[in-house]
Chains A and B, each alone.
Chain A
Amino acid sequence: MSADAATIECRRVTKVYRTATSRVEALRGVDAVFRSGRFTVVMGPSGSGKSSLLRILAGLDRPTTGNVAYRRGASVYDVGDMRGAGLRYIFQAPADNLLPYLTVTQHLRAFGPRDAAGGDALLAQLGLQRRAHQLPHRLSGGEQQRAGLAHALLGSPAFVIADEPTSELDHDSAELLIAAMRRRTDAGTGFVVATHDPRILDVADEVLHIEWGKIVDAGEAPAGRPGAPRSARPQGGELLHLRGVCKTYTQGSERIVALGDADLEVSRGEVVALMGPSGSGKSTLLNIVAGWEQPDAGELSWAVAVGSPPSWDEVAVVPQALGLLDELTLGGNVRLPGKLSGRALDASGLTARLGIDHLADRYPREVSIGEQQRCALARALCGHPVLLVADEPTAHQDRASIARILDAMHEAAERGTALLIATHDDEVAAAADRVVNMRDGRILSGTS
């Protein structure tokens, strides 16, 4: 299908979900037109309805009321009938775009026309030609997402719709992906991308702001992107010192050095951002510091008495998995450390600062993943731990929520809590006291 003159038109689109305890209006009368050959970014806070809108645009869901039509010239189609033909969808988690038992090449054969040359060219553009015969589990997150994009782009669809495609990618992978999307936009494919990533904003033609299920602003993409201020707080003495820490894994016959001879110091009240591409060893470093893994070599020394494993009061954790208890409400989850330790903890101020105080009676399954993530952060910070270890704590957040999170982190740091944060987010890095860059399991530099 040619990408020329294709549009997706939304008229008064609403979407209502009902959970066990509440009724959620995800979309409340959205009117919008998306054009092929244009790169449209959908922005908005988490829970604002971005994902619902994208699923409806992709024909993966139907609106509760209203109408969504795919128009090409004088012909009008139901978007559901255009799935896979004029419309392709890219999921947020890179692994979700691939079948675990097919190689990259096999994906191209399965989902695209028998155009091997085109496929090869696409893989070359996306830097995947050497990984073409690998199964997904042998690819990094960035490679997986690019492979997903490759088979989404096969056959030149009129539209590619993507939900936060860079949220789990390292900087380099995200840049590769964004560049590829921009090139295809210029070649006539329309992109509709929900994101919080300011790098994507840089390449967008249009931006659609959505809040509380309504489009509040639509227009040309703003030039540049806002930065995040870095605080200048006095820091305490040394808290944690890693010396020559090593960790290796074996995967089949392959030996992988996850962490090699890593040295790192963290002071009391310091905010340290760990940055680096996927597979650079950030999560391994966090796991060793949090006590989930033991290093093969090297030393981990604390300036204060810390148990083995450390207690929640000593080292609190926000893992990517979040680890909220499904049977407790968000309020119950935040109160859980106090309940289990027998200490009275007041988290009301923290939950208000993080914007989840009104969700206290909701269960995790009833809120967005961004709200769950903020709940996990509130649970970690409410006991004022000595160190907070957080893995991508802003991966699912909109800009306003990132600001809330950074605010909460800074307040914790001012109370003396040190924060060790693995992130791809430049805003977080900008707000950190120190950024530690990692690559291939090694710490490259530390900048203040």
Chain B
Amino acid sequence: MRALVSPDPLWTRSPFVLRHFPGLLVATAVGALLLAGSLALGPLYLSATASSALHASLTSIGPYGSGFFMQRRETLDRFDRNLRVVARNRFVHQTTTLARATAGMPGLGPVVTTMMSMPLGASAGRASTALRLMARTGAAGHVRIEAGSPHGFLVPDTAAHDLHLRPGDRLTLRFDSSGQSPGLSGLTPGMHRVSVRVSGIYRDLVFDTSNPYWANLIHEIRAPSPMAPPPPPFVIGSQSAVTHLLRRLGQTTVDLRWEVPVSMHPPPTYDGARAAARDLHSLIERLSDPQTRLGATFRCGAACFFTTASVSTEAAGLTGQLQQVDARLTALRPPVTAISGAGALVALAVIASAGVYGARRRRDEMLLLLSRGWRPRSIALRAVLESVLPLAAGAAAGYGLALVGAGLLAPSARTDPSAAAASLARIGVALPLALAALATVTLMAARALLHPRGADVERRGRLPWEVVVAAGAIATYVVAGRGRISFAGGGATEATYLLLGFPLLALVAGATMVARAARRGLARLTPSAEALRPAPFLALSRLGASTGVAITLLVAAATSLGLFAYAQAMVASLETTTQAKASVFTGGDAAVAVDAGYRPPSGFRLPASKLYQITSAATLQGAGPVGVLAINPSSFARAARWNDAFSGTSLSDILKRLEAPGQSLPYVAVGDPPPAGGHTLDVQGAAVAVTPVATAAAFPGIFGDTPWVVVAQGPFARAVQAAGGTDPLSLAAAPQLIVRGERAEAALRGAGFSGSDILTAQRILQQPTYVAAQSTLRVLRALGVGAALLSVLALLLYLQVRQRERVVAAALAARMGLRPREHLLAVAGEVGAILVLAAAVALAGGYALTALTHSWIDTVPSVPPAPLLVLPLVLIPALLAGAIAVAFAGAWIAQRSGRSARLSEEMRRVG
């Protein structure tokens, strides 16, 4: 290291030397850009995705549904055991204390309180109805005023209509306090009345539930299902006015609620939400600890002696939402980590390749340094110094691109500072690795220059190393095939790497074997190629004399295209399978449990059909217990999601056969084939003669892994009753109404069903295991596309460089009679053969690997069908056409590149 201590120009100028080698400079900087971009993108993307998912969830549930929520039913004042008032209007004191406690929590908004009475009688003139008094912080600002003023008592328009009320009219409220202790109110037990002046009329909240402000009161506003009675609407007033009225009515026990919404200005990031969740958790702990001031304030004490409800506290939606986001992150992290790691490896390979390229490009310089006594390690160290600035610049650009990329890939561009710090830390670790890679390849190149490879090294280079890779692929296949692959829980990481590793190893091994065999075959063919026309002759000669670079490019192209084909086929299979499972599980696009007599409202326009699932009352002779799915053939076809992969018989034929009259009940056997000779279905003791009319692997509306029979509702009911049984449809837990259509869920909500009761196919598709598998395969597909683009780019660059190197040979050949068209065809033929062979290997390998492995991933094993194999055959012409197009484009570019060279200068270069 003599030069380190002597300021000679070889060292002092080294950080700026690469500007004399623009190609090398760009390659190094691009490698660093890829490296930093890949490493930074992972944490930034996960952070942005988490924040985005959280934001979507917060938007859907609302800041109130997501925030803190506490509900109590207790007296307005606090009493001791002797019914002496200890604290009047205790609610106000509690609220003030809670507001102080949450003031230092940045992710939370101001405290919102609600006071609700028990149902009261309400009358005006002769008309009467039930209403409740309610005071809620800021409520007047969150209702739609239909008439009158928002100041004072507000009456819902539904009640106003029933009671013929207009602003300014008087409304009488009454309450029978007979069941209450007179000591609490100070009033004589009995019916009490108060009259209030109606200031304004607001749109009943039951028709206006989209405002997230009301999210926590949704079950106080409307019934949980269309079959349940609706709760009485609210007369809204100020807290003091409502308290005053309740005292006059003798209703001193009320429902009290405290809410602390999540602050949405700005929307919280994932880390911010976690901090808010921690604050909420701490708040709840303090509330439940009577030793704390907060806990003491809210301590129930003797007040609860007079109430029936217990204290209810919870951290509300945020914790649950974070759990969902965490599940999504758990699903996404392995593939994102995998692609990030793969990207980093590719980037390191690019940087190492830049080092190799630099060593080749600057071979003479290296030889000169060696001849002047430089040691290889000094040359390597100098290469490191030369690369520091380009690497740093590339890394900075890569980090910037990752920030932009995370914003583009994830719907929300908000990322956490911790993600940025993690990204920078990764880059900080990776850059020395990149420098080490550069130093290593330079060191090896310098050593190789000192000791050119001899016979032994040459022989080692010919070792069939792909056999080792193939063995690795087989080992991976055996491990994965033993059932150790699972995307559930902690298995996701292992599954990801197995799913990524096996095809990669198999394709590399296969492509290398094919490339070697092709090279040998072509080398044998070359002597006989002299009889061919110039273009095929030259193309074949080049292929026969292919160097390691061409072979490497072939293997790289075949592997990357193979990964793409494999991922494409796997994604298609997985999506088809999961869609089919979702369809089977849901029946249609959405489903909801209904009463037997339920009929969709008249405005309901989407196709719907009612299913009866009888899971534990039927036995098929010869097969044992079966589930019975009773469908309505007249409406089923339009409402159900059918997949032709379910059965060899079309749905229309199945439905016709189920309704066909006959001596025995026709049925479709689902799952297992119909038992031989088993023609009796026992339904709670009633033996029904049955006939299998079709078989199916799966059927919309079934679930679980037991065999099912599908029958038509009418014939089934009649057959069972004829056999002495009761109505078999009453054995179903609850009929399912399945609905088909893009807006099926919205339509069911509009019909009065709660969102939580509606089952949608989309929900199945959001399962973490499915998301994990799908993400992994999409990563693989992206990796394949990216690698294919890189390998094609490398091929084009190789062509261009080679053409520039051969510019003299090409010019001389043109003088000898090689026409430009023949030259173009020769290059295109050579490149086309490489790419077409690569595409053929990729397609054959990718599809074969898919056939071998598609059954590894069953995201919902309890729901049929078993994994389906889907091979996107459109890839075959697309890839082959793409290979030919790239070959001609590459040949054209190479030819143009050759033309742009200064021929007279090239002629003078020493050969």
Contacts and interface: CB of A to CB of B under 8 A. Distances in A.
B909 A321 contact: yes
Interface string A426-445: 00000000000000000000
B368 A91 contact: yes
Interface string A79-121: 0100111001101010111111110001001110010000000
Contacts of A151: 372
Nearest to A52: B452
B534 A340 contact: yes
B909 A320 contact: yes
A420 interface: no
A84 B911 contact: no
Contact of B451 (A62, A311, A335): A62
Given A17-B452, A312-B817, A341-B817, A320 B908 contact: yes
Interface in A315-355: 315-317, 319-328, 332, 335-337, 339-342
B450 A61 contact: yes
Interface of B: 6, 8-10, 13, 17, 20, 364-365, 367-368, 370-374, 449-452, 454-455, 458-459, 530, 534, 537-538, 541-542, 544-545, 806, 808-809, 811-813, 815-818, 903-904, 906-911
Contact of B454 (A18, A93, A114): A18
A327 B365 CA distance: 27
26 contacts: A17-B454, A18-B459, A59-B450, A61-B450, A80-B450, A91-B364, A98-B368, A99-B10, A102-B13, A110-B10, A111-B372, A114-B6, A283-B907, A292-B811, A292-B904, A319-B907, A321-B906, A322-B808, A323-B806, A323-B907, A325-B806, A335-B530, A339-B534, A363-B545, A372-B911, A376-B911
A91 B367 contact: yes
B452 A342 contact: no
A309 interface: yes
Given A321-B909, A323-B808, A340-B816, A287 B904 contact: yes
A64 interface: yes
Nearest to B808: A323
A201 B641 CA distance: 95
Contacts of B806: 323, 325-326
B20 A88 contact: no
A218 interface: no
A406 B544 CA distance: 35
A327 B374 contact: no
Given A17-B454, A62-B451, A340-B534, A96 B364 contact: yes
Contacts of B370: 60, 83
A141 to B, nearest CB: 10
Interface in A149-207: 151, 168
A373 interface: yes
B368 A97 contact: yes
A309 B817 CA distance: 12
A64 B458 CA distance: 14
A395 B908 CA distance: 13
Contacts of A98: 368
A324 B808 CA distance: 8
Nearest to A422: B908
List the 3 shortest-distance A-B pairs measured between CB atoms, nearest first: A84-B373, A322-B911, A323-B808
Interface residues of A, number: 71
A344 B907 CA distance: 28
A322 B807 CA distance: 11
A264 interface: no
A94 to B, nearest CB: 10
Nearest to A101: B20
Given A102-B9, A283-B907, A321-B906, A340 B817 contact: yes
B544 A327 contact: yes
B542 A16 contact: no
Contacts, number: 165
Contacts of B6: 114
Given A17-B452, A60-B370, A372-B911, A339 B17 contact: no
Contacts of B812: 312, 317, 319, 323
A376 B813 CA distance: 12
A222 B498 CA distance: 74
Interface string A44-88: 000000000000001111101000000000000000100111001
A275 B7 CA distance: 44
A157 to B, nearest CB: 10
Given A60-B371, A292-B907, A326-B545, A337 B816 contact: yes
A257 interface: no
B815 to A, nearest CB: 5
A84 B545 contact: no
Contacts of B538: 325, 327
B401 to A, nearest CB: 30
B9 A96 contact: no
A265 interface: no
B114 to A, nearest CB: 78
Contacts of A320: 907-911
B911 A391 contact: no
Contacts of A110: 8-10
Contacts of A327: 538, 541-542, 544-545
Contacts of A337: 816-817
A343 to B, nearest CB: 9
Given A292-B811, A311-B815, A287 B907 contact: yes
A369 interface: yes
Given A101-B17, A328-B541, A60 B911 contact: no
B910 A340 contact: no
A23 interface: yes
A339 to B, nearest CB: 7
A229 interface: no
A363 B909 CA distance: 20
A4 interface: no
A31 B478 CA distance: 59
Contact of B371 (A17, A88, A326, A363): A88
Contact of A321 (B20, B541, B911): B911
Interface string A305-317: 0000111100111
Interface in A339-393: 339-342, 363, 369, 372-373, 376, 391
Given A17-B455, A101-B20, A317-B907, 9 more contacts: A18-B454, A98-B368, A290-B907, A292-B907, A315-B815, A319-B812, A325-B813, A326-B545, A372-B911
A339 B530 contact: yes
A61 B817 contact: no
A293 interface: yes
Contact of B904 (A293, A323, A340): A293
Contacts of A88: 371-372
A148 B10 CA distance: 16
A16 B454 contact: yes
Given A60-B371, A99-B365, A332 B455 contact: no
A309 B814 CA distance: 10
A251 to B, nearest CB: 12
A176 B873 CA distance: 73
A80 B446 CA distance: 13
Nearest to A290: B907
A142 B303 CA distance: 108
Given A84-B371, A292-B903, A93 B541 contact: no
Nearest to B543: A327
A114 B7 CA distance: 10
A102 B11 CA distance: 12
A395 to B, nearest CB: 8
A60 B367 contact: yes
Nearest to B451: A62
Given A101-B13, A327-B538, A327-B541, A319 B908 contact: yes
Interface string A286-303: 010010110000000000
A380 B370 CA distance: 38
A97 B909 CA distance: 16
A83 B530 contact: no
Given A61-B451, A323-B811, A342-B817, A391 B908 contact: yes
